[in-house]
Amino acid sequence: QVQLVESGGGLVQAGGSLRLSCTVSGRTSSSERMGWFRQAPGKEREFVADINWSGRGTVYPDSVKGRFTLSRDNAKNTVFMQMNSLKPEDTAIYFCTAGPLIGPYAYWGQGTQVTVSS
């Protein structure tokens, strides 16, 4: 049993910044790989970022590369996503997910809303 709780969402104007966090409880060994997805109303879920246990291996799609940055504090069982230069198209519910080093994500948080105004 693993629980993920996201926080840090809110309303920000275009060009602003937010930092999301995701705290994991339960079997932290099941969170070797952490990821973020987002979903806007009427749209499909979109991959945003991925990070491994060491925090040194990260993956970003072109849509957020150079603007979003992941980091981990394993002592606190928390992953952070720093989001800079936010755009209105970044508006979505952001979901944290966790899984093994190899294989599909297995656990999901309930999401935190990010709204970027123009």
What mean pLDDT is predicted for residues 61-79?
Answer: 95
Separation CA 89–CA 116 (nearest Å): 8
Residue 53's pLDDT band (cuts 50, 70, 90):
confident
Q: What is the pLDDT of residue 83?
A: 98
Residue 74's pLDDT band (cuts 50, 70, 90):
confident
DSSP of 64-102, one letter per residue? TTTTEEEEEEGGGTEEEEEE-S--GGG-EEEEEEEE-SS
Average pLDDT along the chain: 94
Separation CA 116–CA 88 (nearest Å): 5
Residue that has been written with the tokens 């504090």 in this structure: 73
What mean pLDDT is predicted for residues 19-31?
Answer: 87
In this predicted structure, the answer to whether residue 25 has a pLDDT above a threshold of 80 is yes
Separation CA 71–CA 88 (nearest Å): 24
Separation CA 36–CA 76 (nearest Å): 18
Separation in Å, CA 110 to CA 34, 63, 67, 93? 15, 23, 24, 9
